[in-house]
Structure 1
Amino acid sequence: MSATRTGGRNGERPVDPEPLPHPVVDNHCHLDIAPYAAPDEPVPVAQALARSAAVGVPRIVQIGCDLPGARWARETANEFDAIVAGVALHPNEAPRLDAAGRLDEALAEIADLATDPRVRAVGETGLDTFRTGPEGREAQERSFRRHIELAQDLDKTLVIHDRDAHADVLRLIDETGAPNRWVMHCFSGDAEFAAACLERGAYLSFAGTVTFKNAQPLRDALLAAPADRILVETDAPYLTPEPHRGRPNASYLVPLTVRAMAAVRGADLAELCRAIDANTETAFGGTWGA
């Protein structure tokens, strides 16, 4: 299945970084969203996997965040052993579907897609008050609650999108009950918020934003997090790490983020890679081939 959705800024893909000393997983990627440099030509999955594997990122969690993307994620995870899927309605998708009278129907399809064994996660779901105004908040919260319940019912990993909604995300987790495994995708809080998430059992997933010059609170959170709760992601084709910020992101650039994370923590790079790899296996429900 081809994808036609596109990212934002134009730019050629950066060169390959130095390989990691131990493999890690990109636990949040959007291979179905065309790269900025070629908006009508998404990178073929096999090519993307080969390039990332060559630098120590042999496995990917493909995240679908609308119905076409969720269908594609499940299909792709069943085609490629190196990929597992997450399926959900993005929080900014929920108000649009609700306005069209299709939210409940869409949630029912997500629930069906999520029963596939190759779908390891319900996500990305959550709350976003940056792009959705007050008129869409009720639909967002209703959708988020249903996704939390679905993760609980199916024992799937919950993957949370949180933009400018820290307190409300925690409120709904507390009211609905956290599933056994849940991930704060592209963690964007400070050390205090990290502690609140960790207290409730979350994994914190760090993206290229941790390399940005203005992200010191995020680096403080990374420094405060225990080694067994840290994950790494791209959110590709978005959030490209420095020194390539603004150019198209991809899983093969994960080594730049991991090296920055090791520097922040004063950690041995190989040890951090091993920890991230083990954490991802646990966070997403067991061995990759199972």
Structure 2
Amino acid sequence: MAGVVVERGVVKVPPQQLGQSGVQEHLEEAIKKLKPVNPVSLSVSSRTDAGVHALSNSAHFDLQRKNDKPPFTADVLVEALNFNLKEQQIRVTHAYRVPDDFHARYRAQSRTYVYRVALGATHHTLLPLTDCNLCWSLCNTELDIDAMHEAAALLVGTHDFSSFRAVNSPFKNPVKTVDVVAIQPGSSFAHSHFHRRLQFWELTFKSQSFLYKQVRRMAGVLVAAGRGRLSVSQVKQILDARDTLAFPHNVAAPAQGLFLKSVDYKESDLLFSQKPDATEDPKT
């Protein structure tokens, strides 16, 4: 079994370029070009909503070579997959040969998301092109960061987050443990090249797993607290209600500001007892 850590470009690719295929389909096509004898099936650790970005993600797959050839080394596999992906906005950064019981989704110890907010743009067209569709643009010139920190503290820990999942969310245990909710200044991807009075903030959320749209809803209530549209006590009331219908309308943060930053595993889960032998370049 092979595992790969995938880096997805933060620039959105127009639908006409991607067609109907997603990252998983492109990766599976790249694996098929290595001519495995087994059917190709990729299991991804985390799926993102339309409009949400992934700075990195992880996936696992089985790859059996013809004539009992030895497994590809990690470096050769990374190079080969990137060669086959060169026309896509997808890059593989690491590869590991992992135990047969490894699963990219269920072995993940934590997932970290970052939500980007831009302040001071009276219209989204005033954002630098490097940040367009990569943040939530607000006309506010400042936020009440103290209120946001107070609201964030309410969300840390183990809670029933029923109020923070989407109405159409598949049934899952709503009790989640959120390890980190942090608020810190951010920056534009091209800050030094634009002389505009824009301020960026980043909201970071870390947990082993999240409910459907939970992160966007948490980001939305924090921003609402910062804008004075929700009090800290109202945020607590929403959490304590444990009812998705208790979540206010039009408060969830839009998709374009959200990034899956990383998926982390125990180092021992990424170790295989036998080191694979070097082999020929799979592109030939």
Report the TM-score, using the length of structure 2 for normalisation: 0.23
Choose between structure 1 and 2: higher helix proportion.
1
Report the TM-score, using the length of structure 1 for normalisation: 0.23
Choose between structure 1 and 2: higher strand proportion.
2
